[in-house]
Structure 1
Amino acid sequence: MVAVLLVLLGGALTFRQLAFNQQQHQLRSVVEVIDGQLSVQPETPEFAQWLPNWLRAHNIQVLEVANRGGVIYTFRELNYTGNSNNLIPYRYPLAAHPDFFIQIWVEQPFKQLTYEPEAMLGIGGGVLIVALGLIAVFRWLKSIMYGAELLQTRGNQILAGRLRDVQQGSGKEWPNAASKAIEQLITQLIEARQERSRFDCIIRNNAFVDELTQLSNRTHFLNQLEAEIGDADAHTGAVLLVYLRGMDDVNYQYARNEGDAILQQSSEALKQYTRRNIDVNLARYSGDAFALLMPLSTLDEAEDTAAGILKLLERIPLPEVAEADDFFYIGIAGYEYGDNAQLVIEQAEDALRVAQMQRHNGWYAIPRELSSTQTGKGSVRWRTLLQHVLSNEALHYYQQEVFDEDGRVCYKELLARITDYQGEVINAGVFLPWAEKSGLQADFDQHALKFAMQQVKYSRQPISINLNIATVIKQSVMRDLLQWVFSVPFKECQKLVLEFPETQLSQLNDTEMLRLKALNKKGIKLAVERAGQRVVSTQYISELKLEYLKLHTSLVRDIQVRQVNQLAVSSLVASCAGRVQVMAVGVERNEEWRVLQRLGVHHAQGFLFSKPEPI
């Protein structure tokens, strides 16, 4: 419509200008005739006789011929009834008489033009037809462009990583072929990611999981043990070796099928007993032995665990060739921060040999005084201490910086600390497991979350906090978080990073996933920690928009000499390619960092870069 109006307006102006040009052309002709006649018959009666009629024929209302001395000839139409002030003046010099000039006053073009109804009806009908055609074309273009806009919106959502939300497009999208092609490609991409996740699990299963029992294998167990011993937060713990002494006789008498059945039943019994404590790492140490890693445990607690395990194992039905009273033995060795992992294993094996010398199902623990005063305080004493910390607001925080490969700070992680009655600082890795056992985990998480939300207001870098996912997805906590999101600027929301353990993220249902996605859409960033500690599906990477994936320290420790760890890290990096930034935790040596960079890890956290500092 605007185009038609512009065309009509342009045509009208052009036609008007052409009329003025035609009028000026006629007036020039009159001036040329008068200039010629002045040379032939100046001051003759004939000139005054024919000129008025000729001027009337050209609709000239006033004409004056003048020179420097004044007007020498004037013509004025006496019968003109219009307003002389509306006449258009023109001034022309005479070419043959340079001292003379002519001034002419005429009416505007189209002054006498009449608008006949028939002509106007035709013009109006034409304009109406054009307008209706333009409206139809505009509506058609609008419908086409609406489909293109839908396709554009869908493309933006795909670029934002929300594949599953736009897997099926609207039937109004245009072009239809592009819409169907995108649907097909999204389906193939989702299937490829799922296949990639399954392939990643297969790689890590082959590297770290025993095929028969589906437990961690010896390599993975040793990685976990070295990571725990090298973790200053762990303090103390215990290793249990569970040996099935009569397996050789069973395999010899009944072939391997019967022996495999006993191993599977034993692994199920161990899983059942350790299921209540997710921090216990269970592995198949060798063909007829299992191993348990119990962080933050004392030897007394390890012996209680051994007694409970032995009761479950003795319920397993054994073939006649096996001596039920001389079949299950357990060796126990304690460790503390800074010990040698191989030496701890050797002590557990020595304890196992001592237990076998008793010739009756049992266990033996290598006597040792562990230096830590924080582990094994007792559940009542721990609960009392933790309640005292919460009631007196005695929880304080350290911060540790996280760097990229160019040495820039990506964000700062908050690390919780408490102080016991003797004034000793206790790390979160020690008191949080007891807080969970005492039912106080949610209180500590909410305190940490509120502190982090306060810190992002004053910090230039993003602030991260490690939380239990069960706390965050509570309706009350979600409500508080969303209220905070709506009360602060969006840039401030983007500086809050929530970190969750991989084992918890991998077990979320669809409803819980939606709650985390709601936080993510409001600007809060999500990260996963302890990736690779357990062999779980990485499907959560496709479900959530994660900012960072933090490798567990067991994969990072001495990675330059561990080919299996390098394979696992490469698999995780490939699963995150283009979607999540992979970060190594616990980097302490340049050799580790160089290998990690070569594998595609470009962010790191550890003593090699910075140490925790109090806030």
Structure 2
Amino acid sequence: MRKASGMKLTNRLVAFVTLIVICAIFVIFIGGALSFRKLGQDYLTHYLDGIVEVIDQEMADPDGATSMSRWLPKLLKASNVVELEIGNESGVVYAFKGLQKLPDPSILHHSDYALKQNPGFYVRLQSLPPYTEFTYSIGAMSFISLAIGIIILGLIWGLDWLRRQLLGSELLEERGRMILAGRVDEHAIGDEREWPATASLALDQMITELKDARQERSRFDTFIRTHTFLDQLTGAANRVLFDSRLQSMLQDQDNHGAVIVIRIADWDELVSERGREVADELIQDVGVVLSNLVQRYPDTVLARYFDAEFAILLSQQSVKEVKLFTNQIMHALDRLVPAAPLEADNWCHIGVTFCASGERRGRVMDEADMALRSAQLQGTNSWYAFKKDQQFEDARGSVRWRTLLDTIFNREGVILYQQPVVMLDETVLHRELMSRIRDENGMLIKASRFMRAVEQVGFSARMDKVVVTQTLRLLRQQPVTDALSVNLSVEALLDKTFVKWLRNELLQTPRTVLNRLSFEIPEGGLVKHLDAMRPVTRMLVGLGCKLVVDQAGRTIVSTHYIKDIRADYIKLHRSLVREINLRQENQLFVRSMLGACANTDAKVIAVGVENHKEWQVLQQLGVSGGQGRFFAPELSVEKGTFSNDKVLNMFHKRS
């Protein structure tokens, strides 16, 4: 795999040119020094040859030999000759020795000459080499110094010119580094100084086309999910999505709720007499009324079940709350004035039934239909609730919830359960922590039941603060191989006080601990408040934590946020995973989500895997990991950490 170079092109060329110039100066310096030495030797040899020639001529003249003792010492001293010896086989005829103090006698130059005009005589000389007593002087070396100075100045100017000429290439290289680092949006358009200009323009065009392709793919994925799970006229869920959510709720443990069916009477007559447009306007008006009313229940599913029939799924609500909500629906629909031939006081009827975990979806819908027929028999706009032996009464109001939660938070009585996430390579990614509390009677309450109360009484920030504190404490105590994932509510992240507290807590936590911590944020709230969530998610990722988007697919939203916030993992909502081997529409949704994550670092994880058939289909679709009772049950953290080896052994047995 190719890797980006760690050295800039300009630095490479500057280093190369500088090295070449320095080597050239060094070679010239060595050559000049050797030339000076050779010239000095030649000069000394030539000068000594002249002295020897004069001595030879004077010794050939009888008068000159006698006077040689007078002028020869002066000549030798001026010529830096330290010692002179003239002799033959019989002995030394004349000897001279100077009085100079030599620091090192080994530097003396020794020369022996035979006198041509006086055969049999020789002259032996010891002289100082040239330039021995010379030191550096500006005057003597001015031209060489000037030449070196000019070379250095030329080198500086040349390097500066080279940097300016290659600035465009350096900008283009830096832009490439930023793109490889994932900062494509910030460097989509290049600087005008980038060079080569054709490469810069080509990169601009490719990035523009890539962004368009990504947006088009996101729109296409949203289009697929919308047409698969949403009604095109009202924007509400369709029958496929409603049945999937109802089936998922009935298969989960400790769940209860209510199904409300609203039917418009004489729909076929309205269509035949007034036309489809008038009938569709009435459907849209009813859809708007119902959409406004269900806003107070975040987990409510509103669907257009048939052409003239709406269905509402309320989960974890008491009988009293369901009846109050049904009365509100009835009063709101009474304000609408339907077109003829519909009767203003007998055009809308509502059937209500209650359900709990373990019941069959078909039976629940049959009960709702029977209740609806009973309401129609009353001959007026009314509603009727199916009578069941088992009632799901939870009389705890907001005051009792506030008192209970306040007591729990003051003594940090939140009980943490954990469930591992297993990847395809059979490694445990992390353990998701889930909250539980005990009521006044000591009964364990799941988060799905008390989290709505936490939001209603405004305790979301307090709840998340307690859970994060316990999680950080667990991470410091557990081995470095264990990683934990904690859920954060969007309501708490919108609280600036909580975000500031969370930032300070994470800043005081060692980096090794933060690298083992993941934060899960629900997809619906994240997309709804994306502008406010963007700086919070960047802070969490910047501190070294992993970012997980939870409950993906619970609502139909655009997946462009995946590239925007750069999530590490996307967890599918359990309603998509439940019986996915039998539901082609859920498989289509998962393929769409996987396609949205194709060009990102985000990995898709399936939550709520219950059996091998579901896991086999999910693997074929291309998910990266799974979580659910198929891998390991939910266990209390107080009972000890579930070891990774034990999780994998259980997984192998079930596979």
**Band the TM-score falls in, shorter-chain normalisation:** 0.7 to 0.9
CA shift in 2, pair 1:59/1:534, >3 Å: same
State the 1:83 CA deviation: 1.6
Give CA-to-partner distance per residue, 1:234-257, whole Å, 9 cap, x none: 521011111111211101111211
Shift of 1:462: 2.6
**Separation of aligned partners in 2, 1:104 and 1:110:** 18
Given candidates 184, 187, 201, the residue that maps to 2:205 is 184
Counterpart CA distance in 1 for 2:246 and 2:156 is: 76
Match in the other structure for 1:32:
none
Q: In 2 relative to 1, CA 604–143 (structure 1 residues): closer, same or farther, beyond 3 Å?
A: farther
Q: State yes or no: 1:593 paired with 2:589.
A: no
Is this contact kept in 2: 1:150–1:173, CA < 8 A? yes
The match for 1:41 is none
Q: Which residue of 2 aligns with 1:162?
A: 183
Partner of 1:432: 451
What letter matches 1:605 in structure 2? Q
509-518 or 545-554, which moves further after superposition?
A: 509-518
Q: Percent identity?
A: 33
The CA distance in 1 between the partners of 2:93 and 2:195, in whole Å, is: 74
Query: Which among 380, 383, 386 is matched to residue 405 of structure 2?
Result: 386
Return the match for 2:278 from 224, 234, 258. 258
Specify every segment of 5 or more residues in structure 2 that has no aligned partner in the other structure, as ranges. 1-17, 46-59, 66-71, 86-90, 112-123, 638-655
| 8 Å CA contact 1:506, 1:539 repeated in 2 | no
| Correspondent of 1:377 among 349, 374, 396 | 396
User: 604-613 or 378-387: which moved more?
Assistant: 378-387
Contact 1:464 1:498 in 2 (8 A): yes
Q: CA RMSD in A?
A: 3.7
CA distance in 2, matches of 1:434, 1:564: 33
- Partner residue, 1:134: 155
Query: Within 5 Å, which residues of 2 pair with 1:23-422?
Result: 78-79=97-98, 81=100, 83=102, 85-88=104-107, 107-108=128-129, 110-111=131-132, 120-143=141-164, 148=169, 150-232=171-253, 235-370=255-390, 375-422=394-441
Change (3 A) 1:114 1:408: closer
Over 3 Å counting, the alpha-carbon distance change for 1:91 and 1:503 in structure 2 is farther
Single out whichever of 386-395 and 80-89 deviates more from structure 2.
Answer: 80-89
Q: 2:57 — aligned with what?
A: none
Q: Is the alpha carbon distance of 1:314 and 1:105 closer, same or farther for their aligned partners in structure 2, counting shifts above 3 Å?
A: farther
Matched, 1:541 2:562: yes
User: Is the CA contact (8 Å cut-off) linking 1:161 and 1:545 kept in structure 2?
Assistant: no
* C-alpha separation in 2, matches of 1:284 and 1:228: 19
Once residues 141 and 307 of structure 2 are traced to their aligned partners in structure 1, the CA distance between those partners, rounded to angstroms, is 104
Give the direction of change, closer, same or farther, for the CA distance of 1:80–1:427 in structure 2 (3 Å limit): same
Look up the SS of the partner of 2:528 in the other structure. Answer: coil
Find the aligned partners of 2:416 and 2:494 in 1 and give their Cα distance: 23
In structure 2, relative to structure 1, the CA distance for the partners of 1:489 and 1:145 (3 Å cut) is farther
Give the drift of 1:496. 2.1
Matches of 1:56 and 1:273 in 2, distance apart? 122
Bigger mean CA offset, 248-257 vs 489-498: 489-498
Unaligned runs of 5+ in 1: 29-44, 65-71, 93-102
The alignment of Structure 1 onto Structure 2 pairs a total of residues equal to 583
Q: 1:82, CA displacement in angstroms?
A: 5.8
Q: Could you give the per-residue CA deviations for residues 224-275 of structure 1, whole angstroms, max 9, x where no partner exists?
A: 111112222x521011111111211101111211111111111111111112
Q: For residue 69 of structure 2, what is the aligned residue in structure 1?
A: none
Is the CA contact (8 Å cut-off) linking 1:87 and 1:105 kept in structure 2? Answer: no
What is the one-letter code of the residue matched to 2:206?
A: L
Note if 1:462 corresponds to 2:483: yes
> What is the 5 A alignment of 1:493-508?
493-508=514-529
- TM-aligned CA distance change 1:27 to 1:418, over 3 Å: same
Q: Secondary structure at the match of 2:409?
A: helix
SS of residue paired to 1:514: helix
CA contact (8 A) 1:218 1:284 kept: yes
CA contact (8 A) 1:87 1:106 kept: no
Name the CA distance, whole Å, in 2 between partners of 1:518 and 1:195: 29
Shift of 1:157: 3.3
- AA aligned to 1:604 is G
Q: Which deviates further from its counterpart, 343-352 or 286-295?
A: 343-352
1:513 matches 2:519: no
Partner Cα separation in structure 2 for residue 198 and residue 507 of structure 1: 17
Match of 2:501 among 464, 480, 498: 480
Contact 1:246 1:326 in 2 (8 A): no
Q: Distance in 2 between matches of 1:583 and 1:444?
A: 26
**Greater Cα shift, 277-286 or 483-492:** 483-492
* Contact 2:577 2:606 survives alignment (8 Å): yes
Q: Which moved more, 1:588-597 or 1:170-179?
A: 170-179
- TM alignment of 1:552-563, pairs within 5 A: 552-563=573-584
How much has 1:368 moved relative to structure 2? 2.2
Q: RCO higher in 1 or 2 (8 Å CA, sep ≥ 6)?
A: 1
Letter in 2 for 1:552: H
CA 1:299–1:481 in 2, change beyond 3 Å: closer, same or farther? closer
